Amino acid sequence: MKKIAVYTSGGDAPGMNAAVRAVVRTAINNQVEIVGIMRGYAGMIENDFIELNSRSVSNIIQRGGTILKTARSKAFMTSEGRAKAFENLKQQGIEGLICIGGNGSFTGAKVLYEEFGIPCIGAPGTIDNDLYGTDFTIGFDTAVNTAVEAIDKIRDTADSHDRVFFIEVMGRHSGYIALAAGVAGGAESILIPESQEDWHMMNDLFFGEKRSKKAFSIVVVAEGEEHGGAMQIVEQLKQKHPDFDARVTILGHIQRGGVPTAYDRVLASRLGNAAVEALLRGEKNKMAGIKNNMVVLTDFDDAIFKTKHLNPDLMRLVHVFNC
């Protein structure tokens, strides 16, 4: 390959810039021309390409967000939109792609290869940590640290006022952030989409025969919890128990931004480097991930469609500490 392109797609995640930097510098080290596609698939359709060199990615490893921007693209969902994207790639002389994003981004890359034969290697960039084939995704560690910092501060107020706080974290389909932040933040209860038992444990904590004697409590809720977000859950509890008093804090998009942790910078650097090297040796339609601290490749089909299960040891800790 003589020329490749890199793009970020889907939700932004801390560490994406570190991954872009690694991709660019690895390509240059292999005498391969590298360009950036602005705003993901939207920019691919609109022919929004920029030249990248070593200086282009100087002083970005510590920055949150993504210098290549990101956007959703309804046009790419159509065959006409994808045909336009391919035509632009062909005119630019691009022979392969590096996609930094989540399962939706990888789905787009997979379809592009199936229809037009453009090979792609993905680097998992999503705070949700929900992609099969990697122990950690780029941005997850930073998001958890952001959530834990907020939980620590809210705990001070909860303690001062002897109150119950329900803290909602991101995780529409995944409880990874809630589970990690809840354990690290000392939450008395954690509600996640993957577990039915957590709801019963939370009810026992506040309303059971052996309910907690603690003056205050912290409950961490994943936004995709089956009973609703934190606001809906508190309203349901108040309807059944009118005297129940609780406050709600929704952390929201604060978890996506900010300076990436050292772990996310190293992870992004390793996976960006591995993605380019895999592409140059002929791999395609695979995600570069980390398993047992070793870089591995996983087929897009598995990364997208297989279920990544929560760490059972952390789930066990939630049960042990719920007393």
Residues recognised as catalytic: 128
Alpha carbons within 13 angstroms on the beta-carbon side of residue 73 total 29
Distances (CA, A) of 125 to 12, 14, 66, 268, 289: 8, 8, 11, 8, 10
Q: How far apart are CA 169 and CA 172, in angstroms?
A: 9
Alpha helix positions (H), the chain = 16-29, 40-45, 79-92, 103-116, 140-161, 176-184, 197-207, 230-240, 262-280, 300-305, 312-321
Residue 7 β-bridge partners: 99
φ and ψ of 121, to 5 deg: -120, 135
Strands of the sheet containing 33-37, edge to edge, are 49-51, 33-37, 3-8, 96-101, 120-124, 286-291, 294-299
Specify whether the CB–CB gap between 131 and 308 falls below 8 A.
yes
Instruction: Kindly report the number of other CB atoms within 10 A of residue 157's CB atom.
Output: 13
Specify whether the CB–CB gap between 193 and 222 falls below 8 A.
yes
228: left (phi over 0), alpha (psi -120 to 50) or beta: left
